[in-house]
Amino acid sequence: ETMEVTLKTEAEAGASGFSVKGGGNEGIFIKKVLKESPASKIFSLREGDQLLSATIFFDNIKYEDALKILQYSEPYRVQFSLKRKIVVQEEIEHPTAQYKKERISQVDI
């Protein structure tokens, strides 16, 4: 009997030492993992694992690399983690602004 589990690895630098196969509706799977590589030791990747998503952190990334990643990801499902500066004074003066924005976004969905 086999059981399916979804694992989330720790955030680490450089996931090297593995190859993938698949694509399309089939999905992306781990094809090969080198024994002493970060993929094996840090991420515990195993041959046959399905890769569901990959989070790439943009701290200390080269502009060209960030641009490539964003361009290549354009046709696919993406989730962003954002930091946003909000002017506190604005929200105090217009407490309904946030409510209106939420209402609009709910209608758009």
Which has more confidence, 42 or 103? 42
Give dist(CA 25, CA 79) in Å, integer: 20
Predicted pLDDT at 93: 61
Mean pLDDT rounded to a whole number for the chain: 85
Which residue, 28, 35, 74, 34, is CA-closest to 54?
Answer: 28
Q: What is the CA radius of gyration of the chain?
A: 20
What is the pLDDT confidence band of residue 104, given thresholds at 50, 70 and 90? very low
| DSSP calls for the chain | --------PPP-S---SEEEEE-GGG-EEEEEE-TTSHHHHTT---TT-EE-------TT--HHHHHHHHHHHTTS-----------HHHHHH-HHHHHHHHHHHHHH-
Q: Does this model's pTM top 0.85?
A: no
pLDDT of 67 over the 70 cut: yes
Predicted pLDDT at 27: 96
pLDDT of 72 over the 90 cut: yes
9: left (phi over 0), alpha (psi -120 to 50) or beta: beta
